[in-house]
Amino acid sequence: MTKIEEMLAVYFIAGTQDIVQGNLFSVLEEALQAGITCFQYREKGAGSLTEPSEIEETARKCQELCRAYKVPFLINDEVELALKIGADGVHVGQSDQAIEEVLRLFDGKIVGLSCETAAHVEKANQLPGISYYGIGPVFGTVSKADAVQPIGVEKLADYARLAQKPVVAIGGISLENGQEVLATGVQGVSVISAITRAESIEEAVEGLKKRK
């Protein structure tokens, strides 16, 4: 297994807007202790921070925590911020900064790209610098107001077979459907509320891992 494949196993995404109890740092540290394999800082949506200095300060604190646990730290979409603080990588969507430009800026670092259709995957396959694809949304999700229609597990399996890079499934993934998603052949699952709203973060992380 490559380092990227291992990194995608339990891929936690969160920003301050996702936290219902405690704060982002306490939730992130608990998730790191429980064994998440990657963290993506995503400050977007209702209730999120808007002041650039606050966002940077929050990103830096999350980065310090991830470094302490030797877990990759990525930033969603904020390419300039990721470069400024030396994040391990960045994740961008189809409508964010052009992927070719992002690859040039992040040469030698982790670059993830969201793919929602077979055409997206086929186009991404032509760009060798991409590290992994985030494919979905598999199910309906409340974390994105502009989320596209869910693709379901059958299409996820089709797109994962088409992909020439490791795949992490995204969108509406929970403890209840996580194993069904992992059975499609993806390398891992990315989650927000499955961890931020969990009664036990330790049990949630354990439950999201691919069963041997």
> Which positions are annotated as active-site residues?
42, 114, 144
Which residues are registered as beta bridge partners of 133?
113, 167
Whether the Cβ atoms of residue 73 and residue 63 lie closer than 8 Å to each other: yes
Beta pairing class for 89-92 and 38-41: unpaired
Q: Rounded to whole angstroms, how far apart are CA atoms 127 and 147?
A: 25
In angstroms, what CA-CA distances link 205 with 37, 56, 168?
10, 27, 15
The closest of 91, 87, 89, 108 to 99, measured between CA atoms, is 91
